[in-house]
Amino acid sequence: MCEPLPKERTIELRKKHIGPSCKVFFAKDPIKIVQAKGQYMFDERGERYLDCINNVAHVGHSHPEVTKAAVKQMELLNTNSRFLHDNLVQYAERLTSTLPEKLSVCYFVNSGSEANDLALRLARQCTGHEDVITLDSAYHGHVTSLIDISPYKFLQLGKEAKKDYVHVAPSPDIYRGKYREDHPDPGAAYAKEVYDIIMEVQQKNRKIAAFIAESMQSCGGQIIPPPGYFQKVAEYVHEAGGVFIADEVQVGFGRVGSHFWSFQLQGEDFVPDIVTMGKPIGNGHPMSCVVTTKEIAEAFGASGLEYFNTFGGNPVSCAIGMAVMDIIEKEGLRGNAVRVGNYLVELLNELKEKHELIGDIRGAGLFVGVDLVKDRQLRTPATAEAQHIIYKLKERRILLSADGPHRNVLKFKPPMCFTKEDAKTVVDAIDEFLTVLEAAAGNKSKMVTQGSKGIKRQENGESCSDISVEGEKTWSDQPKENVNNRQGSVCRQGRGFSSEKHSTKRIRT
Amino acid sequence: MCEPLPKERTIELRKKHIGPSCKVFFAKDPIKIVQAKGQYMFDERGERYLDCINNVAHVGHSHPEVTKAAVKQMELLNTNSRFLHDNLVQYAERLTSTLPEKLSVCYFVNSGSEANDLALRLARQCTGHEDVITLDSAYHGHVTSLIDISPYKFLQLGKEAKKDYVHVAPSPDIYRGKYREDHPDPGAAYAKEVYDIIMEVQQKNRKIAAFIAESMQSCGGQIIPPPGYFQKVAEYVHEAGGVFIADEVQVGFGRVGSHFWSFQLQGEDFVPDIVTMGKPIGNGHPMSCVVTTKEIAEAFGASGLEYFNTFGGNPVSCAIGMAVMDIIEKEGLRGNAVRVGNYLVELLNELKEKHELIGDIRGAGLFVGVDLVKDRQLRTPATAEAQHIIYKLKERRILLSADGPHRNVLKFKPPMCFTKEDAKTVVDAIDEFLTVLEAAAGNKSKMVTQGSKGIKRQENGESCSDISVEGEKTWSDQPKENVNNRQGSVCRQGRGFSSEKHSTKRIRT
């Protein structure tokens, strides 16, 4: 490429040539990253950032074995899958070997969005049905068909943006949802909600093609479905003639440590009909995959319509994918995810003893969420506090994000080479910021209350930005009484909060 | 990767693990390619194939400068566009510098399909309209929203597969369409067809969001729109409040030689509102781009909905894209496209003097189509003959394909380093096969006529395959009387045709 640009010039050119809908982290003072290694990123001044959020750089940023595999294959051949190639079939064999036996047929595509779109096409073709059940707060991708089934997105356009063929079930969130940890069987209760939707849909003479859910909801707030939920849902969906799509785009490839795929946390008696993959699959290389059963693949083929994806399954992508699998195994990254993930949760639990702001800690392996609350009993989301912590961490050169429908869940999904020391570093920093926040909160609770109404939310990330929430938008009829609406306000309170003005715009990570 | 597999094992694993909708070239005897360089590909026995079809390997297979750029960046950093990076903005600047000034804003995505889907989203958001006008035989991608606007695809599912918001205009084909080369102004006449559709749509109280067309139709039969067509269409579409999307996925990046973008062939007074890119952009690396105006980008941003593409615009993809631009320039590939393209057309015109089977030769730079006909006056598509030639060329280790609604158009779109010698090689071989075909045709015209009815077409590429036409499916009311329906039959005639049994399945290249 050309000579390095001064940061201001980079920003100027970005404003000129990149669509304004494409947001940067920390819009007020964005970070220019020029290099990365393992779990660390470096800015143009050589400052090191600890990366706690990048689940794409799965085996670590700039892993030399990934580069080596790419170069070796690029020097030889990169072409489409209309020619036979060993990489394609050997990689497909390797990938399916991690899955239950019936999931044996692959379609290689270029992104999680392409994967989920194809999953819908497979579901519709094999069932002959159209309707889709999705979860509240779900995000499944950026193409038209997926915006339609992503309440995380379409609800920002207003309730009328929901298409008739889309049905939104409550997120199986046992901390904040309709059925909680004190329910005798929240899995069955949440599944019953899906059942009720199916009944309602069928009464309208509509038919369910698919139920789609992330195996653990990521943007939805690091939600781990309660035991038995997927089994029951699959039973109801199958009875209705539909299929179960497990979206592993964010959470697959051993992130949970104990298993290679997050849906496997539900037990061996649950097998989805379609699994979609993405982000970590190529450690940043644009690739992804849909895996399904022979029966569904054959039904899809029966339409006579060919499926061709120009780049999907090319030998370079497959070589990279294979290298990622090798590294996960050779470096024992699943074991690391268990060890470091457990240690992180342990440290966070200690923090919970000290800080009333921590309402819930949930996680599996290196997928961990910390649900911040203003009040442990009402579980009022502490949105501004979460955003404040993210900003303070950035100043400390630690990259973390907050997500979920209330933007109050601190979200850990670091590269899988994350260490115990890294975990300690970030938890210590959070400890410090929570202490300051809580001390300040005592002094100014009145001010905060006064400031909670009548403040216009920032939508464009400009003045009080970079992060401003588009507002509380939940679909299903969860109890709302314990959810207040103070996002975007607290950052104006001066004391106890980051000196950098910011609000709470939805930035997905 | 692992040890090389015997070809039979590769085929076996492919059958087991790759969706049956993903077709290979020459299904009966597919080619296993293990290496490629420039315009040549090599199979597992080291046999060299001349590649006349791969417009993805734009600057030549395995170009060392592309690999070098990839490695250099992979060693440093590959992350998402939420961080500032010079590669993103410098590449965007470089790319937009090749376009008319008003096309200044980029969205980087991973495939032509993602690009066209995003183009539709931009169009719908900025116009507030929904309907789309597309061309007969058009193919714009494999995601749900694009199958819907691709008659090349959805018509295979039956006429009822057309969605209400989709309107199909005749392809501006002056050789085989409604208005031909003898029409005083075919551009205006075809544009008038679009105008009529707009009127009809508006009478139904529907509104046009976009007209979308490849700047030159590729799968549609190597169609070069007549002068003035795009200008007029743009005028009508703008009057209706819609936008013009030029799909350059197949034909961009200097393939036509005289210009960097194929839509520029229409003259400087035509500027589309949105341009989509794909295939050649990264010489095989999965990447693509949508470029539009500031106004459309701002209207898209105004919804408040963020656009994030995990892999799109990452520093590695941008470095590769920049390398491709550099190579096109340094190696003078546009000049080469003009010289070799002109020479190829010259040779083909000489062939046309000799062979009645050649009905039309059309092209620009290294995008050339040879329309084979059974009868020059009626212009009856010589589908089986075209397929036969493709097969014979394969035996001669030359890769060419036949496309268009009748699968009778020999389609040249080789890597841009294609030489005059390569052109001579393939034209000489075509000459030889046409001679044999024509000699045989004299002997067996009766047999062919008898064989033309009642033969079941192969849909699954198994018995008389690999290439079997799904049938004559055209949308617009082009005159049909000169189109017969003999595909899939002639290959059974033994004499004069390839000894390898084959029919004419639609395989897009």
Mean pLDDT by 10 residues, chain B (509 residues): 88 98 96 98 98 98 98 98 98 98 98 98 97 97 97 89 97 97 97 98 98 96 96 98 98 98 97 98 98 98 94 98 98 98 98 97 98 97 98 98 96 98 98 96 54 33 29 31 32 36 48
Q: How far apart are the C-alpha atoms of B245 and B234, rounded to whole Å?
A: 9
- Residues of chain A with pLDDT > 70, as a percent, come to 86
The confidence score (pLDDT) of residue A489 equals 28
Rounded CA Rg of chain A: 23
Q: How far apart are the C-alpha atoms of A1 and B214, rounded to whole Å?
A: 30
The CATH H-level (homologous superfamily) assignment of domain B7-61+333-493 is: Aspartate Aminotransferase, domain 1 (3.90.1150.10)
Architecture in CATH of A64-330: 3-Layer(aba) Sandwich (3.40)
> Which residue, B249, B6, B256, B268, is CA-closest to B110?
B249
The confidence score (pLDDT) of residue B265 equals 98
Tell me: the pLDDT tens digits for A59-110?
Answer: 999 999 999 999 999 999 999 999 999 999 999 999 999 999 999 999 999 9
The count of CB pairs under 8 A between chains A and B is: 389
Instruction: Say which residue the tokens 């096409």 belong to.
Output: A121
Residues 6+ apart with CB under 8 A from B147: A121, A305, B141, B153, B154
The confidence score (pLDDT) of residue A450 equals 40
Enumerate the H helices of A281-400 as residue ranges. 294-301, 315-330, 333-354, 383-395
Whether A294 has a pLDDT exceeding 70, the answer reads yes
Q: How far apart are the C-alpha atoms of A329 and B329, rounded to whole Å?
A: 43
Tell me: the pLDDT tens digits for A244-263?
Answer: 999 999 999 999 999 999 99
Query: Of B74, B84, B310, which is closest to A279 when you measure between CB atoms?
Result: B310
Whether A2 has a pLDDT exceeding 70, the answer reads no
The confidence score (pLDDT) of residue B160 equals 86
Whether A207 has a pLDDT exceeding 50, the answer reads yes
Q: How far is A33 from chain B (nearest CA, A)?
A: 6
Q: How far is A178 from chain B (nearest CA, A)?
A: 28
The confidence score (pLDDT) of residue A500 equals 41
The confidence score (pLDDT) of residue A157 equals 86
- ipTM, 2 dp: 0.90
Contact indicator for B254, B135 with CB cutoff of 8 Å = no
Instruction: Say which residue the tokens 């590959």 belong to.
Output: B78
Query: Of B22, B67, B112, which is closest to A307 when you measure between CB atoms?
Result: B22
Q: Mark yes or no for CB contact B22/A297 under 8 Å.
A: no
In chain A, residues with a C-beta closer than 8 Å to the C-beta of B29 are none
Average pLDDT rounded to a whole number, residues A484-498: 33
The 3-class SS string of B310-333 reads CCCCCHHHHHHHHHHHHHHHHCCH
Q: Where are the domains of chain B?
A: 7-61+333-493, 105-304
Instruction: Say which residue the tokens 């510098």 belong to.
Output: B97
In chain B, residues with a C-beta closer than 8 Å to the C-beta of A279 are 310
Q: Mark yes or no for CB contact A74/B57 under 8 Å.
A: no
**DSSP states of A166-195:** EEEEPP--TTTSSS-TTSS-HHHHHHHHHH
Q: Mark yes or no for CB contact A114/B117 under 8 Å.
A: no
Q: Which residue of A has its CA nearest to B285?
A: A311
Q: How far is A349 from chain B (nearest CA, A)?
A: 31
Q: How far is A438 from chain B (nearest CA, A)?
A: 31
In chain B, residues with a C-beta closer than 8 Å to the C-beta of A82 are 23-25, 507, 509
Contact indicator for B402, B408 with CB cutoff of 8 Å = yes
Whether A459 has a pLDDT exceeding 70, the answer reads no
Instruction: Say which residue the tokens 């100043």 belong to.
Output: A395
Contact indicator for B393, B53 with CB cutoff of 8 Å = no
Distances, alpha carbon B80 to alpha carbons A480, A487, B88, B106, in Å: 35, 27, 10, 15
What 8-state DSSP symbol labels residue A445? H
The 3-class SS string of B36-72 reads EEECEEEECCCCEEEECCCCCCCCCECCHHHHHHHHH
The confidence score (pLDDT) of residue B454 equals 33
The confidence score (pLDDT) of residue A208 equals 98
Q: Which residue of A has its CA nearest to B292?
A: A19
Q: Mark yes or no for CB contact B107/A310 under 8 Å.
A: no
Average pLDDT rounded to a whole number, residues A274-279: 98
Query: Of B10, B84, B303, which is closest to A31 when you measure between CB atoms?
Result: B84
Task: Please provide the CATH number assigned to the domain covering B105-304.
Answer: 3.40.640.10
> Which residue, A49, A15, A4, A129, is CA-closest to A396?
A49
Q: How far apart are the C-alpha atoms of A476 and A237, rounded to whole Å?
A: 19
